[in-house]
Structures are given as C-alpha cells and as structure tokens.
Structure 1
Amino acid sequence: MTTFAERLKHAMDERHMSQSDLSAKSGISKAAISQYLSGKNQPKKDKIDRLADVLGASPDFLMGYGVEETEGGLINPEKITVREAAKILGKSDQFIRIGLQRGILPFGWAVKTSSQWSYYINPVLFSQYLSTNIEADNEENQLKDNLQSGNMVPVEQAAQLMGKTPQFIRLGLQQRVLPIGAAVKVNATTWDYYISPKLFTDFTGIEVQISSKNQR
C-alpha cells in the first residue's frame, strides 16, 4: 500500500465501513471521501485525524509514515475489543454491543453494514469513561461512609439554606446537576437522597451543621 487512497480503502475494509458510514461518522462529505479513494484529492491533516479516529487507525498509518499493518490485519494495536471492554467494566458482551448500537456508551460507536454490526471502541474515550466511573464510585463510597456515620444533610435543610424547594434539590440530585450528593433509586417510585456536608459547603459556600437524619 503506497498511496493514501489504498491505505484508506484498506482501513475501511478492515472496519467493514462504507463511504456513507464513514461520511456520517466523520462529518466529511461522501463526495470528498470518494475523491480520496480515487486518488484525485488528499485530505488535510485535520480531516486525516478525523478519518483515523473513526476507523480506529493511526494517522501515521493513513499518511504512510512508516507504520506497518499489525498481525491479524489490525491497523491500530491499541484498539479495544468488545470482549475486552466488557471484561474491564464487569459487563456482558451484549451490554457493550447494545450500548454502542443505541449511542448510550460514550466511548465508541456501532455501524450497521447490511445485516452485520461493526463495533469500534476508542481507547482514549474508554479510558476517560473508566476514570469517570472510578471517580463516581469513590464519591459514592464516600457518601455511603457518611451515611453510615450519620453525617448527612436532610433535603429540607439543604433546600432552606439554598433558598430552594425540596423538589428542586431532589430533581437536581436525580439528574446529577447538583454536585452536593447523590440520589439512588430504590424502586420504581422511591428515591433515597444523600447530601454530603463537605460537598454541600464546597458547592454553596454555606457551612452546615451535620444532621444524622437522611431524607427520602
């Protein structure tokens, strides 16, 4: 493979991706991609980076800067498979596939070609997602520790101090827009609300007396 067009076609074949799929995912017009594949035109660096990201390839590979194809035909040795992602997250392969198909999981995408789905997981986005989940788990564990020790702020008290309604606090916690605690759904109609005194003070600047009574 000596030309950009050949390397681009190879990368598309590896991912079972059509011109239309690549255009939709990269935001580059189908006409432009057609010109790249025919060798009539070659994209600028920013578009090469976008194509590489969508295809799970190295930009250096597409530009022919001495990057060789890896064993098994994979052009990006850092590509994460569905099975690897599932194992790391402690989920099933099906959970990952459905999440990518529906656009729920923010670390990759799924492309349907005829009757087959192709899945791509971006290593950088996956790492960011994993880090976010770890931080969220740590915060949740901290909140649980506070709950067990009785160090929680009641919803009504938080609402009064902030000059808001209790409903405002509950919805803010449910939708994760208030960084003062967490809302945990117990069943179809019931939520538990945990408000950390430290997070509340950090967010509002208001010192609060710790209450041992948590609210639902």
Structure 2
Amino acid sequence: MERAKTLTPERMGSAMLSRRSGALAGIALAVLWAPMALVIPFFPNLAGPTGIGVFYADHANSMKWILASISVGFIAFFIFAGRLVADLIPCGSGWLWSALGGALMFMTALCAALGVDAAAVLLFESVSPETVWTLHAVAFLLAAPAAGAGAVFFVAVAALAFGGTWPRSFGWLAVLGAAVNLAAVAGFFSLAGAPNSGNGLLGGLAGPVSAWVIWILAVSFRWLRHPQLAPSEGS
C-alpha cells in the first residue's frame, strides 16, 4: 500500500506510454516473424540430405531475408520483454523470474539456430549435400533442448494469469503454449515422422514459435486496450 501512494499522475502517464511502446514492440515482432509462414509448409524432415537440398535450392534467397527479419525481430522482443518485466515486478511473484529465465533461454537457442541455418543457406552451393544436411539438422534440433525453456515460460505466465495478473483466458492460452512447446522434446527421438524437429507435428518448430507469437500478440492488444497502469498494479 505504501508504494501505491507514489503512483502519481506523472508515473501513470509514463506507464501508459511504456505499455503502448511495449504493445507496439509485440506487434512489430509478430510482423517481423510472420515471413516464417512462407517457408514453414516446405520444411523437409531431417531423415536425409535429398529433401533438404531441394528445399535450399528452391528457397535459399527467401531464407536469407526471412532469417534477417527474424533476427531484427529480437529487438522488438526485448523491448516487449522489458515492458513485461516492469509490469510484473509489483506482483512480487517468483513466477516472473521463472518466465524471464525461460524466455531468455528459449530465445538464445532460437538465435543460435538462426545462425547455424544461415550457414546452411550460404554454403549449400559450395559444400556437400551431407554438410548442408548436418547444418540444417543441427539448427532445427535445437528446438528439442529448448522445449523445456519454452514450457517453463508458459507454465510461469499461466500461473500468473490464474493468480489474477491477466484474464483466465490468458492462462489457458499459456497452458496450450506449454503443451506445444514441451512436445518439441520429441525431436530427440526421430529424424522423420511426427517427432522430427524439421517438420514434425510434435517436434517441429511451427507450433512452439506460433504459441509465442500468439501469446505476445494477446498481451500487446491488452496493453493497447488498457494502457494505463491501475493503482492496484503499482502497489
């Protein structure tokens, strides 16, 4: 209650501006990551070099721009994440730090995967098909060890939502996100079929990344609708 007294009009105005900037950053991330949808339907499985070689022959040029766009999207993500942390610190919940740790580890793995996949894109005409296959497989298999980090983030934000930080619908959306992210651990068990990290229904990249984008958009639109920090959130 003591902190609530310091929630002056100036501080509330600053919070309003910050929420709007965080929301715009979240929307910008979704826009910058949207080009992934252009190539996701064509991702091959990881069972051998043939399908992967065909993929890069058809999509190498577009992949350069897509990987660059995703990388620029990290700027928007960290602006969004900064606003999210600032919004949640007054809650005093340990789940905030679990969410932050999971987010940072997941995004670190994704960033590493982008770099390895960029090597595959740039080298596919100069090295053997087996080398391109190896690079591509390594890039996508990073989704498997990142699965736990993604799941931790969504479990944490689900706990925060069910605790009253956001509407309960955000909690159920996070539960779904946790399940989808955890399913990516299936990539440890096969290079083909549903478990594979390349295009598998369980292990593939599309589900976990989509869950992140949808949740970030949900929070961003809520911030746009409710840009002003309520006195109870400053207590």
TM-score in terms of structure 1 length: 0.27
TM-score in terms of structure 2 length: 0.26
Q: Of the two, which has the highest radius of gyration?
A: 1
Q: Comparing both structures, which one devotes a greater share of its residues to helix? A: 2
Q: Comparing both structures, which one devotes a greater share of its residues to strand? A: 1
Task: Name which structure has the greater RCO, CA cutoff 8 Å, separation 6+.
Answer: 2
